[in-house]
Structure 1
């Protein structure tokens, strides 16, 4: 595999990971916080309705978790293509 082919394959996988993780974040923040809010409001966590919780806190927590997932995925990807230390 040439250097250019390796770089292209690396970026294709990187973009795939980004798309998947951002889709998850969108579904959690927009879907759970706005679209499915009424259905989620039937469930309570700590005295607060679940739809409200997702709109206020849940999407931020999911975003932080997705950052750590992305770091782990990128470390594996770097090692796979020989870019890691």
Structure 2
């Protein structure tokens, strides 16, 4: 899955996990853990599971396996899936 459909699907999953009451217009620059979304560790675990269920892999588990840093922005998650085969 590429392009706009991928972006829409990932943004929907992130919005579902986020407990923010306000509507947030997510962009690739939206930070996952700071003021905009403020995801906590339980949110991140939930996000990881939902992404893996949807796409078969998740950027958190892969980062841990490969010694990379976890995604910090929405764009980091999009980039991960854009580079999957």
| Fold equivalence (TM over 0.5) | no
Which is greater in Rg? Answer: 1
RCO higher in structure (CA 8 A, sep ≥6): 2
Instruction: Indicate the structure with greater strand content.
Output: 1
Q: TM-score, normalised by structure 1?
A: 0.30
